[in-house]
Copies of this chain bind each other. A is one copy, B any other.
Amino acid sequence: MTNCYLGIDAGGTSTRAALVLADGTCLGLGRAGTGNPISAGPELAAQNVLAATRAALADAELGAGTLAGGIAAMAGGRVARRVDWLNGPLHEAGIGISLSLEPDLLAAFLSATPQPDGYGVVAGTGAVAVRVRGFELESVTDGLGWLLGDAGSGFWVGHQVVRAGLAALDGRAAPTTLTAALFDALEVDPAAPAEVEGRPGAIQHAVDVLYTWRPVELARLAPLAFEAATAGDATAAAIVEEAGTALRAALEAMLVEDIPGPVVFGGSVLVQQPAVAALVGAALPEQEPLLTSDGLVGAANLALRRGGVTVTEPVFDRLTETVGARR
């Protein structure tokens, strides 16, 4: 009889499920829409976890009776600590196991390593750093959202791009290529002639466009800073360096002597921008940062751990390989 473990990575835009054996072999993957109970509401989130689970069982050509245990990794587990909203619908649908909830940040860390201890820094739209000890989150810093924190995140960088690009055109800061790049991205003519109450028309047009965005959407403009910095723009280089310094401060806030590493980097700002990763990695010069762009391997890793399976290096490597091969 097959003993399968179910790892769920439930995110704001999609939910993924992996069915794995104790030796790390992935037998099936499934996918559905948002699985976050905070943003989508618990009913829709539970529906999507169920749909992803069924898709994974179908992919593996297995029935629900093969499931020996499982976990669901998601943000906001704090609010959704009681899991009736999730396990009630699963049980009604004939899935006999009860999933436990795990922090998505723990799954991100455990996607890159089988180690029980270490550090994670994730910088995508937001930014957060964690310390992991014994397969549990021991400490978290930042991740406070675009208004109150997320220092060095994609939002933070995009926000600085806009402010610096507009300030330069407004005569309040030194010229920067970010101005032209910003107006190009917004499809606003920087030389727009109309003056409204003493203000260049282009600035008013850009402001009118940008205030139709939700603030977090400024993260879209972060790539302009990385491109301009690479091309030698001093303003952009200062923004990128300040982002790296802020992320490094978050990592440094997590460091303790008895945990040497490893350190896992996730999120587009760290995974796609080696210059930022180098600035942050300097906090732990002995460690080569591990990169992860995915929490699904970590969710499967956690499903095995919480099911009492020891995930050795070979098991972890097989997990990484076989999840990757089925994608």
Contact = CB atoms under 8 A, between A and B. Distances in A.
Interface in A117-152: 130-131, 137-145, 147-149, 151
Contacts of A203: 144
B138 A167 contact: no
A151 B162 CA distance: 13
Nearest to A247: B172
Contact of A197 (B103, B159, B163, B167): B103
Contact of A147 (B130, B144, B173, B215): B215
Nearest to A141: B170
A171 B141 CA distance: 7
9 contacts: A137-B198, A139-B199, A141-B199, A142-B167, A143-B199, A144-B207, A145-B211, A148-B163, A149-B167
A1 interface: no
A142 B130 contact: no
**For this complex, into which size category does the number of interface residues on chain A fall?**
35 or more
Contacts of A325: none
Given A147-B211, A151-B167, A173-B249, 7 more contacts: A103-B197, A131-B198, A137-B197, A141-B171, A142-B167, A149-B167, A149-B170
Interface in A203-219: 203-204, 207, 210-211, 215, 218
A134 to B, nearest CB: 12
Contacts of A147: 159, 210-211, 215, 218
Contacts of A27: none
Given A171-B141, A173-B249, A246-B172, A148 B207 contact: yes
A166 B144 contact: yes
A112 interface: no
Given A163-B149, A207-B148, A172 B142 contact: yes
A250 interface: yes
Contact of A141 (B142, B143, B172): B172
Contact of A162 (B148, B204, B250): B148
A253 interface: yes
A77 interface: yes
Given A140-B197, A140-B198, A197-B137, A249 B148 contact: no
Contacts of A191: none
A172 B137 contact: no
A253 B166 CA distance: 13
A197 B130 CA distance: 10
B131 A197 contact: no
A153 to B, nearest CB: 13
A158 to B, nearest CB: 11
B198 A138 contact: yes
Max count, chain B CB within 10 A of own CB: residue among A105, A138, A171: A171
Which 8 A-B residue pairs are closest in the complex by CB-CB distance? Answer: A171-B253, A140-B198, A137-B198, A140-B199, A139-B198, A172-B249, A78-B196, A141-B170
Interface string A77-106: 110000000000000000000000001010
